[in-house]
């Protein structure tokens, strides 16, 4: 030992050491370590990095207290410099006591999965002592293929760039049932097969936002567009029955689809140029066993100029299986070229004032009378009475 001490400065000495104290009043990364080549002597060790700059840039990872490190004292100086951390034996001063290497190997403490694929290290990582850090995985064997790059937080938040089969995506995961997934393209066959299966499997080249909590898309100064340029459908669904709504108890609204404009219009258009149909708009209550179904169109203005207007350049058809009631608070005006009324039972007309009939001829109970038949057609949407069943 004495010879090593006497030769400090005259030759380069490399030694194992144990980090004892990381307190550094000079803020330059130095730490106090027990130098094995010097016996029990403790020396200040200057931190060395693979990269440093004269400003903010640099790579800094000062080893933890209790870790076995490799240090050196170069020729021409009596100071000690850090070369790197080791996984040599079990640290004697580790927080929480030591764990025998026969139970948990040194590298297993840092990553217990590092040797699982082929018995050799195939995962490369930089992690803090709480588990957060950066991981590169190159794992493979006949049973699985796990190639990815991940940034992981101590509490399980993950940004993952994953090239593994069946995943092949970029994933942003909060660790709390909320994630954004952007998949790679894959093959055309896989795309169409996944698309037919709906929400169960995410198709290639797709974006999925899946959260347990609320989602908010806020545009403060411009326009929001949702466009299907040349694909398939645009679906907006609410399948909630309220059983797992993630909201305060007083917020009892669930299952609705709401479209509202505060300042101007709400527009629903179709510009279809199909072969057999150039666009249809359906508003339906689909449940054939439903009760109390209502489709209501209403205005609430009070100054008398509010209008509900239905126009057609062809026919206008109204049909009801039950009664059809018309209630007008003021005059009811009907204008037509001809009016045909066909009543299978009694016809009743009651007026609190005059009833006037005017025509070239007014016939009462004529021998024969031809009435034009009612011609109500029926159109069915592409989804029939089942609606959208993608999820």
How does pLDDT run across 184-232, given as a tens digit for each residue? Answer: 866 555 555 555 555 455 677 888 888 888 889 999 999 999 999 888 8
| Full-model pTM | 0.70
C-alpha span between 15 and 83 (Å, rounded): 10
Cα dist from 298 to 232, 295, 308, 324, 348, whole Å: 33, 10, 7, 18, 30
Q: What is the pLDDT confidence band of residue 89, given thresholds at 50, 70 and 90? A: low
C-alpha span between 385 and 49 (Å, rounded): 69
Q: Would you state the pLDDT for residue 26?
A: 86
C-alpha span between 167 and 163 (Å, rounded): 7
DSSP string covering 262-327:
SSS----------SS-S---------TT-SS---------SSS--------SS------SS-----
Smallest Cα–Cα separation from 235: which of 206, 282, 275, 198?
A: 198
- pLDDT tens digit sequence for 130-152: 889 999 999 999 888 899 999 99
Task: Provide mean pLDDT across the span 21-47.
Answer: 91
- pLDDT tens digit sequence for 254-291: 888 999 999 999 999 988 877 777 788 999 999 888 88
C-alpha span between 179 and 166 (Å, rounded): 17
Q: What structural domains does the chain harbor?
A: 2-85 (2.40.50), 106-210 (no CATH)
Q: Would you state the pLDDT for residue 193?
A: 54
């Amino acid at each position: 030992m004495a010879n090593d001490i006497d030769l400090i400065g005259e030759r380069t000495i490399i030694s194992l050491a144990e980090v004892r104290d990381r307190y550094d009043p000079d803020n330059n990364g130095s730490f106090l370590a027990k130098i094995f080549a010097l016996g029990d002597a403790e020396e200040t060790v200057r931190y060395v990095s693979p990269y440093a700059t004269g400003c903010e840039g640099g790579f800094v990872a000062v080893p933890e207290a209790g870790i076995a490190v490799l240090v050196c004292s170069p020729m021409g100086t009596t100071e000690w410099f850090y070369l790197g951390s080791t996984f040599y034996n079990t640290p004697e001063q580790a927080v929480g006591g030591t764990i025998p290497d026969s139970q948990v190997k040194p590298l297993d403490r840092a990553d217990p999965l590092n040797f699982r694929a082929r018995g050799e290290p195939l995962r490369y990582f930089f992690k803090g002592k709480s588990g957060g850090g950066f991981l590169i995985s190159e794992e493979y064997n006949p049973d699985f293929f796990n190639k990815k790059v991940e940034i992981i937080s101590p509490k399980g938040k993950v940004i993952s760039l994953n090239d593994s089969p069946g995943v092949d995506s970029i994933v942003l995961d909060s660790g709390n049932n909320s994630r954004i997934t952007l998949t790679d393209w894959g093959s055309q066959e896989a795309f169409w097969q996944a698309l037919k299966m709906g929400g169960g499997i995410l198709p290639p080249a797709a974006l999925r936002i899946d959260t347990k909590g609320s989602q908010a898309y806020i545009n403060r100064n411009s326009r929001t567009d949702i466009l299907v340029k040349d694909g398939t459908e645009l679906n907006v669904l609410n399948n909630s029955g309220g059983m797992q709504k993630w909201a305060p108890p007083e917020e009892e609204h669930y299952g609705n689809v709401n479209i509202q404009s505060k300042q101007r219009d709400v527009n629903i258009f179709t510009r279809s140029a199909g072969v057999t149909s150039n666009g249809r708009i359906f508003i339906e209550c689909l449940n054939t066993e439903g009760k109390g179904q209502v489709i209501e169109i209403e205005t609430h203005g009070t100054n008398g100029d509010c209008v509900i207007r239905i126009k057609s350049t062809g026919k206008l058809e109204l049909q009801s299986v039950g009664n059809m009631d018309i209630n007008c608070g003021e005059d009811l005006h009907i204008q037509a070229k001809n009016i045909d009324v066909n009543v299978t039972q009694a016809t009743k007309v009651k007026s609190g004032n005059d009833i006037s009939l005017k025509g070239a001829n007014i016939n009462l109970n004529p021998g024969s009378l031809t009435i034009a038949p009612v011609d109500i057609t029926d159109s069915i949407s592409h989804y029939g009475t089942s609606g959208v069943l993608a999820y």
